[in-house]
């Protein structure tokens, strides 16, 4: 079967600056598609449902780096704590605490990104910049030994308006850079999806989450 996954990947990768990590977003896509991307050299994959990611982890090669990019249900963190590499969508201190608790059971330190609310739409999850600063400065965070906040993640408004996207990406990049001076652990800025990743990179992203441009359109909206 010709799916073009390999070609899509090659095309995207050939245009990515070296410092930018590509997360191939495989949510809703079958194992065979992920295997095809893997065979083409891709090792970092993103899913937005914990159960689906666990199912895929179980059967796919173990050198895959799995990223959880979706909204987190705290009671399900335990199912991925033994293998998840990076959790992008952390939007509360409570969730960090739960990740810490589950990571501890496996003697791991789990890397996390705090999700910032940058979109004008009110449908997107995420923390305000003030909330993020509160978490980063809190005494309590330094007591969580099994989580490490390594950066920030943001989702821009679903729009073609380049000016608005630019403004949203730049606001997060500015905030990120400012905090990077105080918190050297912050190294990852995850922003940009199929429709807007080139602009996101131009505005300072170093991790892009790309699904449909690699695997084709999804059959249902998630
Ligand atoms: C689905 C998803 C993506 C990828 O979206 P595409 O438009 O298919 O590239 C990126 N980030 C998050 C958080 C997602 O849920």
pLDDT at 51: 97
Q: Which domain holds residue 153?
A: 5-215
- CB of 24 within 6 A of ligand 1: the answer is no
For 139-164, letters b (16+ CB in 10 Å) and e give eebeebebbebbbbbbbbbeeeeeee
CATH number at residue 158: 3.20.20.10
What per-residue confidence (pLDDT) applies to 81?
98
Q: Has residue 221 been placed in a domain?
A: no
Within a domain: 157: yes
Predicted local confidence at residue 152, as pLDDT: 98
In the reported structure, the alpha carbon of residue 142 is separated from the centroid of ligand 1 by a whole-number distance in angstroms of 31
CB 172 less than 6 A from any atom of ligand 1: no
Q: Which atom of ligand 1 is nearest to the CA of 27?
A: 1
pLDDT per 10-residue tile (average), the chain, 222 residues: 83 96 97 97 98 98 98 96 98 97 98 94 82 96 97 94 96 97 95 97 98 88 54
The response to whether residue 209 sits with its C-beta less than 6 Å from ligand 1 reads: yes
200 and 191 in contact (C-beta within 8 Å)?
yes
Residue 219 pLDDT: 74
**How many structural domains comprise the chain?**
1
In a domain, 222, yes or no: no
CA distance 110 to 86: 7
Residue 50 lies inside a defined structural domain of this protein: yes
Ligand 1 centroid vs 82 CA: distance in angstroms? 24
Residue 210 Cβ < 6 Å to ligand 1: yes
Q: Give the CA-trace dihedral at 102, 104, 109, 113, to 10 degrees.
A: 30
Helix (H) or strand (E) holding 116: strand 110-116
Q: Answer whether residue 37 is part of any domain.
A: yes
- 25 within ligand 1 shell (Cβ under 6 A): yes
pTM above 0.85, yes or no: yes
> Would residue 220 count as lying in a domain?
no
In a domain, 116, yes or no: yes
Residue-wise DSSP of 32-100: HHHHHHHHTT--EEEES-HHHHHHHHHHS-TTPEEEE-SPPPGGGGGGTTTT--EEEEE--HHHHHHHH
What is the Å distance from ligand 1's center to 138 Cα? 30
- Residue 1 is predicted with a pLDDT of 47
Q: Which residues pair with 148 in a beta bridge?
A: 111
Q: Ligand 1 mean position to 189 CA, how many Å?
A: 15
pLDDT, tens digit (0-9, with 9 covering 90-100), for 117-167: 998 876 667 999 999 999 999 999 999 999 999 999 999 998 999 999 999
212 CA to centre of ligand 1 in angstroms: 8
């Amino acid at each position: 079967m010709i799916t073009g996954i390999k070609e899509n990947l090659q095309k995207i990768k050939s245009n990515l600056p070296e410092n930018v990590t590509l997360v191939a977003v495989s949510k809703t896509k079958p194992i065979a598609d992920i295997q095809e991307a893997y065979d083409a050299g891709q090792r970092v994959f993103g899913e937005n449902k914990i159960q689906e990611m666990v199912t895929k982890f179980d059967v796919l090669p173990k050198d895959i780096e799995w990223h959880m990019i979706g909204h987190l249900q705290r009671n399900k963190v335990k199912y991925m704590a033994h293998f998840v590499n990076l959790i992008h969508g952390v939007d509360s201190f409570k969730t960090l605490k739960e990740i810490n608790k589950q990571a501890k059971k496996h003697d791991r330190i789990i890397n996390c990104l705090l999700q910032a609310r940058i979109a004008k739409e009110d449908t997107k999850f995420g923390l305000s910049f003030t909330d993020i600063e509160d978490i980063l400065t809190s005494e309590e965070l330094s007591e969580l030994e099994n989580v490490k906040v390594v950066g920030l993640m943001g989702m821009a408004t679903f729009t073609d308006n380049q000016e608005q996207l630019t403004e949203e990406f730049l606001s997060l990049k500015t905030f990120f850079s400012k905090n990077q001076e105080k918190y050297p652990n912050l190294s990852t800025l995850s922003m940009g999806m199929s429709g807007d990743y080139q602009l996101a990179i131009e505005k300072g992203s170093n991790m892009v989450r790309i699904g449909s441009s690699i695997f084709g359109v999804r059959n249902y909206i998630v």
